[in-house]
Amino acid sequence: MHLPPPDLSIVARRAEIVAGLREIMPGHVISDDESLAVYDCDALTALRQKPLCAVLPGTVAEVAAILRYCRDAGVNVVPRGAGTSLSGGSIPLGDGILLVMARLNRIVEVDYENRCAVVQPGVTNLAITHAVEERGFYYAPDPSSQLACSIGGNVAENSGGVHCLKYGLTTNNLLGVEMVLIDGSIVTIGGKCGMPSGYDLLGIVTGSEGLLGVVTEVTVRILPKPPLARALLMGFPSIESAGQCVADIIAAGIIPAGLELMDRVSVGAMEAFCAPGYPLDAEGVLVAELDGTPTEVNTLIARVEEIALKAGANSCRTSSSEAERLKIWAGRKAAFAATGRIAPDMLCMDGTIPRRELPAVMRRIRAMSESYGLPVANVFHAGDGNLHPLILYDVMKPGDLEKADAFGADILRLCVEVGGVLTGEHGVGIEKRDLMPVMFDAEDLAQQQRLKCAFDPTSRLNPGKVFPTLHRCAELGQVHVRGGQFAHPEIPRL
Amino acid sequence: MTVIWVYNAQETADAVKASLSDGSKLALRGRDTKRALGRPVEAEHTLDLSRLAGAIRYEPEELILTVKAGTPMMDIDLMLREQRQILPFEPPDWGPFFGAPDRRGTIGGILAADVCGPRRFKTGGPRDSLLGFVAVNGFGEVYKAGGKVVKNVTGYDLPKLMCGSFGTLGPLVEVTLKVLPAPEREDTIILRGLTVPEALRILRGIAGEPLDATGLSHLSGELAQHLEGTLGVAEGLTAIRFEGAREAVEERIALLMERHRRAGARRLGGDVSRDLWRRIGNLDLLHREPGVVWRIAAPPFAAAAIAQEIGPNAAQYDWAGGLLWLLLDDAPHAHASLVRAVASRHNAQSALIRASDAQRAQYGVFQPQDETLARLTRDVKAAFDPDAVFNPGRMYQGI
């Protein structure tokens, strides 16, 4: 995991570039070293680097003018929402400007008749729900960082959350975006209608990690909030029996709103942090949430309880009030903060595996933990097989960061080996960029990069993220890849 | 026109390479049930993908199904039924509507044409269920995208792009789909004789309540009269479906029966309910009436106004007004300029679904795109198929 080396010929033109941008937007170009320190990383804090400058546009027209300028001047652009990416999606590049969307933070329209909201990209995820909850609606995707993360960033990363088993990721909850392309043209994709015709460009823009364009307005679906949600807290003597319980719940035709599994290490950390009342003697703690109308919730809670006891749960408690439900969630939601207290630094991984592989993968992660000499705490979105092993390390200890990095890469290779994927919801970014060939062949990656070229032919938007090898678009048009070897080995590998 | 049959990914790629070398074009087909959907294609050869059929891996407990793309829907339905699972987007059978036999289409065709049923507003379309695929691009390369797990954000989400691309980005060879448990129970409430604005207001209201309705449709009297038995009356029929755990369905049905008791609400049980929604999804009632059919995807609130401004002879409204099917007199111009102008005014998207080859060729099928969107569409097409080998003109002129 490392940052791409900056193009020094761009860095040398820094003063000229800053001046050029100030002509477009006199007030909101940040270029002094001290102020830029604020922008030197995102939530992948292991890597830091200052951008050429940070630019904070306030209108779509300004975004368009900035992008056009950057394309013409040959300057790289890294878009940034709230900077909460865990994969380094918004880490600045030394040879690029940071395009900070924070000032575009208005809720443009709430349209209850069409059950949608139109918002600017800098609006936080939670603010959307706040804007519509008075009428009993909410915005479903709920990444852990929802208090801080912006909807623009959610679109870029296709963010998930603990409720996506039932309600889907960002991509399943979007209706449209307005986006600015690198040449400054403004394009509207989708809108308030649920099924636009033509190629599903909204589908590829979502989760494109800032590589295709800069989103300037988002139309999201809002849902009526279920009148009741109850949580079940279940303790299991082994990860196997907890995993079996998850499989049995799904096999019984029940899709809970949330289904979270935690191992003993993380449960210990959470208890110490906020005392959510988790069973400390359990090897696996499972939280299931059922939502809907009261009859529905109570029926399903009873069914899940029965399944859990059959699967060998040695404790099982159901929330009987909203306060109790929130308390059960408090531990899981504080996973990062709690784990952060038991080690100076932490690397959060994000692979997905077929659920049946859970016990085997857990065993292998434990073995790796021993051989690397780094502890690991595990939290999973168990319903969809999305793992979040938290690798604990100390950046001040020489070699620890490198070890953590290698450990994380081994976990992700394991995920792919058992039939899973590198990232379930955090994105590839810089963190997993070099692992892309583990999952995709050269042909697969070339096809993805050709798509990139359709949007950004000079590769100015967030270069060095997602793809391990840069290609010039003209070459991709004819490149035929054979036997895993790219036809142009002279092009630098990042 | 010659037909090329292919039996695996490599043969498919070889067929594409052969076309690249002699500059010929390929019309893609599965089992040829949707040829009348989209613009007519002119190509030297037909690439028949129906032999790419069969299950590869079905893991009910993982909610995952991987099949070859030419697998008939009939086989998939059977497999799913045995495990009491479903495809969330409720793929209908449009065979008869397009003049083909019933129960014949393939999963590849369903995905390529973005075919989905009355449940889409609730559980998404094909795009929301296709997790990964293997395909052949216009370079004659076999490649894969997406994954085989339900949650994945690794790389661009190409599975979304393939849905609704009508084969213009290349043939799908293998697809991995997300499946869901079949609902334990379904029941429907019907209301009779409502005006279109009244019916749509009620349906939108229910969509905005936490009741999880999974079907919210209204049929005009001209369509409803084709229903059998006591349902077949020439007045508007409004249908509200609930699916899920038995107790939950019961609770919701009771609530709505009480609310609409004075308006003569009637309850349809499992089989009758299933049959009604199957016919709505299959466009079976529209099939009984001659004329041109337009599909309009709209912001739900605009549906009544759109219908009023176009003035169809008959109409079916799905997704609480989010989707309109409008039947108009057959006319040489297919009412294209009127329908498109109205759709555009209401930020809706029209598609000319049933019309002659000549009408679809001349007036196009989909809502015309603005300049930037049209350029992106061309560039995306070129990224997959630079020599325009696949299905030339199927979606737009040149695409």
Q: Cβ contacts (< 8 Å) between B248 and chain A: which residues?
A: 292-293, 295-296, 299
Q: Cβ of A85: how many Cβ atoms within 10 Å? A: 29
In whole numbers, what is the pLDDT of chain B averaged over residues?
96
Cα separation, A270 vs B201, in Å, equals: 48
Q: Cβ contacts (< 8 Å) between B390 and chain A: which residues?
A: none
- Residue A482: the pLDDT is 41
Q: Cβ A113–B165 below 8 Å, yes or no?
A: no
Q: Cβ A448–B145 below 8 Å, yes or no?
A: yes
Give pLDDT < 50 ranges for chain A. 479-494
CA distance to partner chain A, nearest, from residue B216 (Å): 14
Helix H or strand E segment including A155:
helix A151-157
Instruction: Please give the average per-residue pLDDT across B162-172, as a whole number.
Output: 98
CA distance to partner chain B, nearest, from residue A23 (Å): 27
- Residue A478: the pLDDT is 56
**Pick from B143, B147, B182: which is nearest to A443 by CB?**
B143
Residue among B80, B156, B186, B340 with most chain A CBs within 10 A, to mutate: B156
For residue A464, the SS3 value is coil
Contact pairs from chain A to chain B, CB under 8 Å:
263
Tokens of A378: 């595990």
DSSP state letter for A469: B
pLDDT band at B270 (very low <50, low <70, confident <90, very high): confident
Q: Cβ contacts (< 8 Å) between B395 and chain A: which residues?
A: 198
CA distance to partner chain A, nearest, from residue B232 (Å): 30
Percent pLDDT > 70 in chain B is 100
- Residue B230: the pLDDT is 84
Q: Cβ contacts (< 8 Å) between B197 and chain A: which residues?
A: none
| Domains present along chain B, CATH in parentheses | 48-181 (3.30.465.10), 183-384 (3.30.70.2190)
Cα separation, A349 vs B210, in Å, equals: 35
Tokens of B157: 């989400």
| Domains present along chain A, CATH in parentheses | 8-100 (3.30.43.10), 107-224 (3.30.465.10), 228-335 (3.30.70.3450), 343-434 (3.30.70.2740), 442-494 (no CATH)
CA distance to partner chain A, nearest, from residue B38 (Å): 11
- In the structure, how many helices (H) and strands (E) does chain A have? 18, 18
The residue among A363, A404, A409, A355 whose CA lies nearest residue A380 is A355
- Residue A487: the pLDDT is 42
Between B234 and A99, residue with greater pLDDT? A99
Q: Cβ B143–A113 below 8 Å, yes or no?
A: no
CA distance to partner chain A, nearest, from residue B233 (Å): 30
- Which region among A267-271, B6-10, B309-313 has the lowest average model confidence (pLDDT)? A267-271
Q: Cβ B153–A293 below 8 Å, yes or no?
A: no
